[in-house]
Each structure stands twice: as structure tokens, then as C-alpha cells.
Amino acid sequence: MPLKILLDSMRAIRFANFSDVIVVVGGADSDRIYTDNDMVYIETPFENYDLTGLSMLWHYRQHPYVLANVYLYLLDTSTVGAGFPEKFRSLGNVEQQEYRAVNRPASNICAFGRGVLEKFKTNFDEQLSKDEGLQFEFGQSPKGVKQIEAFAQKVTELRPRVDHGEPVDIYQTGHPRRVYWYPDFDILKYIFIGGNGDVTGTISQLKCCPLLQALHRKKKHHKAKKAKKAKKH
């Protein structure tokens, strides 16, 4: 369902570069790469949550379907805005050894040049749990998995992502997700804060790392301040 919603959002804004889209599907029965409806699909039994796609980009880096100068990496639990096509075209100026992303946490959404891909090699083949993946998202290196920017010669910090209003139940699971907007990509990311498995119906709570716990405290404090201001009026 998330992938369909993402692709529908791209069609709604008349995105014209579907031949540049690579969809990576982890947990498949076998390894294969093929095209369907102009898009490239990579299926693999390997499953590494948000990092599966990075692993597959390395292993298929020389395949004509995957070969590119620049890569924009995002997750299926995202949608795009009307400005996305222009943002996508502008990625042509990303340098070969450059990495671009917002300051953490960034949900692993980023852009990088081919030189970065060539350098990170099998870094993302180390299988992480969901909790370890969350640690990685907050800048740690569980099991020695290095951050992508460790392989870049140039790191460009983009404008911060923005809390995009109240949580929404975009996947109709009964569990609203917090929404964040990435202005330099015009991407909206939907996050099930502190939990996992709402889409599959196998919900589990994540062991929040200290940074995530601090983020929760900051949000609660911000809401409390807003409530106090509302009472004054």
C-alpha cells in the first residue's frame, strides 16, 4: 500500500521520469532485476529495513538499469509534492563525491553522487534489526555500519525538515503517522513514532535511543507551551 500511494502521488503531479525510478523489494523469493511500467524493480531475499536499497544499489551498480551519476534515496512511506519534478531535475548538479541530506534525524532520505556509491561498497550488507536501524538513523554505527557521508568528500546540509501539521492515518491502519516535509526535495515522510509494523498489522514498540527520547520530550514541551498560549487567549 505505501508504495502505491507514493507512486500515485508522483503520477498526480505528472512526474515524467519514471524510467529513472528504481524500486527495491526486500524479503522476496529470489534475486532478480526487471522493468515494469517503465520502472526498474530489484527483488532480493535480503531484508535490511531502510538500508536494503543501498545494499542493492552497490550490488547492481554496473547494471545498465541502475547505472547513474546521481541517486536520490527515499522510502516507500513517503509522498511527493508539486515541486518534486523540478527538485529532481536540479539533482543533476550533485557532484560525484557529494552527499546531501537534512541534519539528523533524516529518515535516511538523501542524495549522493556515484562516487559515494562506489566507495561504500558492501557497507550496507550488514543486517540490522529495526532498533539498530533507528540507531543508524540518529548517527550511530551499529555493528560497524558507517554513515553514508563517511564515504563522501563533500557533505551538503540541506534546509531542515519541517513538522507538517497533525499526524495522519495515511495507510488507514488506525495508527496516525507524524508527517515531515523536506523542502529541498519536496518530499513528505510519514513516521510511526516509537513503533513498527502498523502497515503489516504486527505492531511492536521500538527501544528508543536517547536521541529519540529527547525528541519526544522536546515535542511534548512544545505542545505544552502552545496549550498555555492558547489558554491566555
Delimit the domains of the chain by residue range: 2-204
Work out the pLDDT band at 206, boundaries 50, 70, 90.
Answer: low
Q: From CA 185, how far away is CA 180, in angstroms rounded?
A: 12
pLDDT for 233 equals: 47
Residue 215 above 90 pLDDT?
Answer: no
| Cβ proximity of 187 and 79 under 8 Å | yes
Mean confidence (pLDDT) of the chain: 90
**Among candidate residues 155, 162, 69, the one with its CA nearest the CA of residue 117:** 69
Q: For residue range 74-99, list pLDDT tens digits in order.
A: 999 999 999 999 999 999 999 999 99
Residue 73 above 50 pLDDT?
Answer: yes
pLDDT for 226 equals: 44
CA angle 45, 106, 39 (to 5 degrees): 45
| Cβ proximity of 116 and 99 under 8 Å | yes
Q: From CA 141, how far away is CA 72, in angstroms rounded?
A: 22
Over range 12-27, report the average pLDDT.
98
Residue 201 above 80 pLDDT?
Answer: no
Pairing of strands 98-101, 70-73: unpaired
pLDDT for 74 equals: 98
- pTM for this entry: 0.87
Computed on alpha carbons and rounded to an integer, the radius of gyration of the chain in Å comes to 18
Over range 32-36, report the average pLDDT.
98
pLDDT for 223 equals: 45
Q: From CA 135, how far away is CA 144, in angstroms rounded?
A: 12
